[in-house]
Structure 1
Amino acid sequence: MWDLHHLFKKHARDIRQALRRRGLPEETAADLTQDTFLRVLISPPETTKTTFNPVGYLFRTARNLCTDYQRREGLIRKVDLSPEDFSAIADPSPSPEKQVYDRQKLLLTHKALHELPERTRKAFEMHRMDEMTIAAIAAELDLSTGRTWSLIREAYEYIDSRLSGL
């Protein structure tokens, strides 16, 4: 059984440096160093071999992970974009369909709020819009905190039920 904690403390820096010498950026080398120990933790080498070198095994695992990483990176086509070009790729504004859908949801929510009993609506608005705590709402409405939470939960459930058909 390997003492991975001891091996990590003693050899992680050397493995990371070896990966850096293979041309990897610092963050990638650090990630692959951790992946090396994780790989060994998940799938340790066979213990039936008469001679084995744990440090050599770790370095070979790190080298293999580095090779895999560099192969994957070689398959990816990279393009340098200016900030203006990058921002032009995706329009952050919602689509017209999304705008219509959101307006419909807002209208239904507004109607549902006005259908609620006054005290329930007020408790919900204080909680959701005024960001008041349950205790503060309970004190203002002269209710117990349990009853206040029940009112707010009822409002959420009612609004949700009205929106579920959309």
Structure 2
Amino acid sequence: MKDSEQILNVYLSHRLHLVDVAAGIIGCRARAEDIVQDAFIKATLVQKKGTEIQRPVSYLLQVVRRLAIDFLRFGRIRNEIDVADIAVQNLLCDPRSPETYVGNREELAIIEGVLASLPDRTRLAFEMKRFGDYKLREIAVVLDLSIGRTAQLITDAMAACQAALDNAAPRN
């Protein structure tokens, strides 16, 4: 059996277990599916370079774990739904009704209030990332922080905005 067929057979026969492992780490089954597919591609590329994989099941499990941990470290910032951008886009869209317009304005006011209440570095990091389109490393240099700490500040701001929107009185 060719090496590529061996990896394919292992992938197909253990895919559900690999997805379970990734989902257990990141907490999202849909993204876990992506991680498992990425792991398969990485394993295939390693074999194409001529490297023999002795224990393909163990190898794929390790790649899945590492990709899932990398997602937790770095992916959340890149893949997080930006509630502030959604509120701004909703405001700029042609509203279907006056109620929608008012609701969008209320959401934007909530986000503005949350941002004003955040510590300066947290607010500045969030604004630089979301409105200034700066990269994490650029923000980290400006704020004299590590990239990890900068990412955490942005995540904290995002979580504060989302929590405020979730706690706002529902619109009728």
The TM-score normalised by the length of structure 2 is 0.43
Instruction: Normalising by structure 1, report the TM-score.
Output: 0.44
More helix by share: 2
